[in-house]
A and B are shown apart, each in its own frame.
Chain A
């Protein structure tokens, strides 16, 4: 078997504040293949965001191994990570297309290439015709679409999403779930998606990694055997129910 795109083994992270130690992540061991959409699900304090930041190279860790990329799948941490946060965090003073182009400016990608790509991506995320607007002219859901386009503009191999739909209303959230699956299908990116929504995690993920809190540790890692493309109806199937019950059980909420 060839090497996985992402490989985590026994990753452990401890925060130290004023002499006190706090275990943020432990026993995180899982592989992610290229092109997978992996949901990281768990309650607050389970270390899912910390794990995401470790993957992004923003945090160090205290034990274990983290490897992204392999000989067959080279990975450049400076260029191959896209990030989406809970808030869209668009720059108010930039037009939507200019916001999407921000990473390309930092990486020094030529303007014309970047602009063309930004336009294509805004079309992909369903914002055609809004390119030259300012963020305040867009709804929350539309702003989050723009921030997804921004995470893709430099063509990264890995996109890290930290509860990207957590701040949206329930209806918009469902719509964005469908949109994300479509975008993922078309862009063929590897996505790691952090959420505390169990239904969302199962619905989106080709694989689900469950983290529990107190103490923080990885509790489960399973493949979701529901074929893509998925529609909202799959949530009513018996199989879907089994997956969500499995997670609820792990979180002690049965």
Chain B
């Protein structure tokens, strides 16, 4: 089929552009005689992985827990909050302005506070990822739940449909594209939240490792850490995207 052929071509081009970037990087370093401390080659970067005392696996696991954990908690609480808002209007009127105000706080600025409250470790960083993810999910979900066509509401009302039927058949499925749009934004933010948390204070994680190797000027390891962090974010984003493809009809997706 021409459709799948075209799809294949698109994937091929996407892979190609990435390969070109890696090649350009390699040649830039080799022919530009860039010192390794400034920029390692792709091969050197890969080599950093075999340095045993960096405990890559442990650090990846720590960062992954922070990113995925923070995101998951934010998704659960964010959607739950928005649902409560749509069920109890007074609650929305009470809490939404507060949430909007709290959203103005640069979450990163809370880092030092979190360390005071929770000490070093995975918890404060997970919390940081959560704090930064929570708002976009609540706000978009609440908006999605609000966007019901008044005429559809009338249609359900003439049939004496219940509040619950309206919710399950129209409101919630209608809000799904918004929920996913919020989660996509949150997925990217979660990574930033976790890493900033690790920069500010931590004893594990890829952000922590970056600070360690910075001191010894092991730039290759720093590059590797950045790539791994990006990969973690990419995996989370991919999972959200996959779920969206499964749950939301093509036409309804918000790009």
Q: B-contacting residues of A (Cβ < 8 Å)?
A: 53, 56-58, 77-79, 81, 83, 85, 87, 89, 91-93, 102-103, 105-107, 134-136, 154
On chain A, the residues within 8 Å of B174 by CB distance are 91, 93
Given A91-B174, A102-B169, verify A58-B154 contact (CB < 8 Å).
yes
Give the docked Cα–Cα distance between A107 and B155 (Å): 12
Q: Determine, out of B36-44, B73-81, B156-164, the stretch whose residues face the partner at the interface.
A: B156-164
- Nearest CB on B from A135, distance (A): 7
Contact-residue bracket for chain B? 20 to 34
Q: Which of B151, B165, B176, B252 lies in contact with A106, CB distance below 8 A?
A: B165
- Nearest CB on B from A108, distance (A): 10
Given A78-B160, A83-B158, verify A135-B173 contact (CB < 8 Å).
no
Q: Does B89 contact A (CB under 8 A)?
A: no
Beta-carbon contact of B248 and A57 below 8 Å: no
Given A56-B158, A58-B154, A83-B154, verify A105-B249 contact (CB < 8 Å).
no
Which residues of B in the span 165-186 have a Cβ within 8 Å of any Cβ on A?
165, 169-170, 173-174, 176
On chain A, the residues within 8 Å of B170 by CB distance are 91
Give the docked Cα–Cα distance between A81 and B154 (Å): 11
Give the docked Cα–Cα distance between A78 and B160 (Å): 6
Q: Does B149 contact A (CB under 8 A)?
A: yes
Given A106-B159, A106-B169, verify A89-B152 contact (CB < 8 Å).
yes
Given A91-B170, A91-B173, verify A106-B156 contact (CB < 8 Å).
yes
Give the docked Cα–Cα distance between A91 and B160 (Å): 19
Beta-carbon contact of B158 and A81 below 8 Å: yes
- Nearest CB on A from B180, distance (A): 12
Could you list 8 further interchain pairs (A-B, Cβ under 8 angstroms) beyond the known A83-B151, A93-B174, A107-B159? A78-B158, A81-B159, A85-B151, A85-B155, A91-B169, A103-B159, A106-B161, A154-B159
Give the docked Cα–Cα distance between A78 and B169 (Å): 18
Q: Does B251 contact A (CB under 8 A)?
A: yes
Give the docked Cα–Cα distance between A9 and B165 (Å): 35
Beta-carbon contact of A53 and B173 below 8 Å: no
On chain A, the residues within 8 Å of B248 by CB distance are 93
On chain B, the residues within 8 Å of A85 by CB distance are 151, 155
| B interface majority secondary structure | helix
Which residues of B in the span 126-171 have a Cβ within 8 Å of any Cβ on A?
149, 151-152, 154-161, 165, 169-170
On chain A, the residues within 8 Å of B155 by CB distance are 83, 85, 89, 102-103
Give the docked Cα–Cα distance between A87 and B155 (Å): 12
On chain A, the residues within 8 Å of B160 by CB distance are 77-78, 106
Given A106-B161, A106-B169, verify A93-B249 contact (CB < 8 Å).
yes
Can you give 27 A-B contacts (C-beta < 8 A)?
A: A56-B154, A56-B158, A78-B158, A78-B160, A81-B158, A81-B159, A83-B154, A89-B152, A89-B155, A91-B169, A91-B170, A91-B173, A91-B174, A92-B252, A93-B174, A93-B176, A93-B248, A93-B249, A93-B252, A102-B155, A103-B155, A103-B159, A134-B249, A135-B251, A136-B250, A136-B251, A154-B159
Give the docked Cα–Cα distance between A147 and B156 (Å): 14
On chain B, the residues within 8 Å of A87 by CB distance are 149, 151
- Nearest CB on A from B181, distance (A): 14
On chain A, the residues within 8 Å of B156 by CB distance are 106
Give the docked Cα–Cα distance between A102 and B251 (Å): 19
Which residues of B in the span 25-84 have a Cβ within 8 Å of any Cβ on A?
none
Give the docked Cα–Cα distance between A91 and B151 (Å): 12
Nearest B residue to A81 via CB reads B158
Beta-carbon contact of A58 and B157 below 8 Å: yes
